[in-house]
A and B are shown apart, each in its own frame.
Chain A
Amino acid sequence: MPSSTTDHASRRVIGARAALIWGVIATVLVTVASVGVFLVAPEDADQGVIQRIFYFHVAIALVSLVAFAVACVAGILFLRTRNLRWDDVSVTAVRIGILFSVLVIITGSIWAKASWGTWWVWADPRLVTYLIVVLIYAAYFVLRSSVDDDRRLRFSATYAIVGFVSVPLSFYSVRVAQSFVHPVVFTSGGANMPNSMLIWFLISLAAMLALFIALLEVELVGRRTERALRALTLRLESS
């Protein structure tokens, strides 16, 4: 077997190992965070038990933006190197980012219903701009499926980069527009919560970040393996 093939196979194995390790880390952290959020974190004096939605809701929201940032950086790296690995990272990060965004919208709506008495507030800039971000990234897959081969890869990478412009717009909109409906917990002055809550939020954030990395690694291993298998099948069929 040529050494390059051996190296490639080894890298795939290392990738699978990384996915396994991150899977274990994510499972442990999500379990610890869940126990902490439900059993240890103090109840909010103002909102009561429904405030417990905050821990995962905000953590998932932040990680969804991280996912879109990863897609953007991977898009830049793909356009610079034309290495398919970066296209894999970009498309996978967008996919997981959308999954997390859907979770943010659903959990946010549940929290809104419990707290404000309505599922959605169209007048709130944070909610609307976040929805726009999700729709922009949903269109990524429409674009990706509508063009083929090399153009698909280039267009997808470019879209992932341009689409990321919407992320800081959503993040800062609530501060610029002075939203009075959606609370702003983290300001330039720090977190507006006691340390006994902040610690469980940080653990939840670490858990969601580990979950994102684990899902990313698993998907990447799957995509690399599928591509290798396709190439192998073509070689066998043509021989």
Chain B
Amino acid sequence: MTGGNQYVVAAYAVIWFLVLAYVVMLGARTARVGRQVEAITRMLDREAAESDPPKGDDG
């Protein structure tokens, strides 16, 4: 690979790597949201299992 080609490959590799890293970061955030959804689902399941009466004015 010539010197010129090396620079071109390096420039485009940086672009694709950083964009990919950013997309991975977005994916990690989506995964975190997914875990939160699971936590809420578990919370709702627990509440349903306890089968308490509807919340009233019990002070």
Q: Which residues of A contact B (CB under 8 A)?
A: 34, 48-50, 52-53, 56-57, 60, 99, 102-103, 106-107, 110-111, 113-114, 211, 215, 218-219, 222, 225-226, 229, 232-233, 236, 239
The contact string, 1 if C-beta is below 8 Å from chain A, for chain B 1-28, is 0111101101110110011001100100
Q: Which partner residue on chain A sits nearest B18 by CB separation?
A: A103
Query: Which residue from B3, B8, B12, B29 sits with its C-beta under 8 Å from A222?
Result: B29
For B26, the chain A residues whose CB sits under 8 A away are 215, 218-219, 222
**Is there an interface contact between B7 and A50, defined as CB atoms closer than 8 Å?**
yes
Alpha-carbon distance between A107 and B16 when the two chains are bound, in angstroms: 11
Q: Which partner residue on chain B sits nearest A43 by CB separation?
A: B4
**Is there an interface contact between A114 and B36, defined as CB atoms closer than 8 Å?**
no
**Is there an interface contact between B55 and A239, defined as CB atoms closer than 8 Å?**
yes
Q: Name which of B7, B39, B43 has the most chain A CB atoms within 10 A of its CB.
A: B7
Closest CB in chain B relative to A59 CB, distance in Å: 10
With A56-B12, A99-B18, A211-B19 already in contact, the answer to whether A114 and B30 are too (CB < 8 A) is no
Closest CB in chain B relative to A152 CB, distance in Å: 20
For A107, the chain B residues whose CB sits under 8 A away are 11, 14-15
Closest CB in chain A relative to B39 CB, distance in Å: 8
With A53-B8, A60-B15, A114-B7 already in contact, the answer to whether A236 and B37 are too (CB < 8 A) is no
For A60, the chain B residues whose CB sits under 8 A away are 15
**Is there an interface contact between B33 and A110, defined as CB atoms closer than 8 Å?**
no
Q: Which partner residue on chain B sits nearest A47 by CB separation?
A: B4
Apart from A107-B11, A229-B36, what 16 extra A-B contacts exist at CB < 8 Å?
A: A34-B12, A53-B11, A56-B15, A99-B18, A99-B19, A102-B18, A107-B14, A110-B10, A110-B14, A111-B11, A215-B23, A222-B26, A229-B33, A232-B40, A233-B43, A236-B40
Query: Which residue from B8, B14, B19 sits with its C-beta under 8 Å from A50?
Result: B8
**Is there an interface contact between A110 and B22, defined as CB atoms closer than 8 Å?**
no
Alpha-carbon distance between A58 and B3 when the two chains are bound, in angstroms: 22
Alpha-carbon distance between A238 and B50 when the two chains are bound, in angstroms: 16
Q: What are 23 inter-chain pairs, A to B, with CB distance below 8 A?
A: A49-B4, A49-B8, A53-B12, A56-B12, A56-B15, A99-B18, A103-B19, A107-B14, A110-B10, A110-B11, A111-B11, A114-B4, A215-B22, A215-B26, A222-B29, A226-B29, A226-B33, A229-B33, A233-B36, A236-B43, A236-B44, A236-B47, A239-B55
**Is there an interface contact between B7 and A53, defined as CB atoms closer than 8 Å?**
yes
Closest CB in chain B relative to A56 CB, distance in Å: 6
Query: Which residue from B2, B7, B18, B43 sits with its C-beta under 8 Å from A110?
Result: B7
For B47, the chain A residues whose CB sits under 8 A away are 236
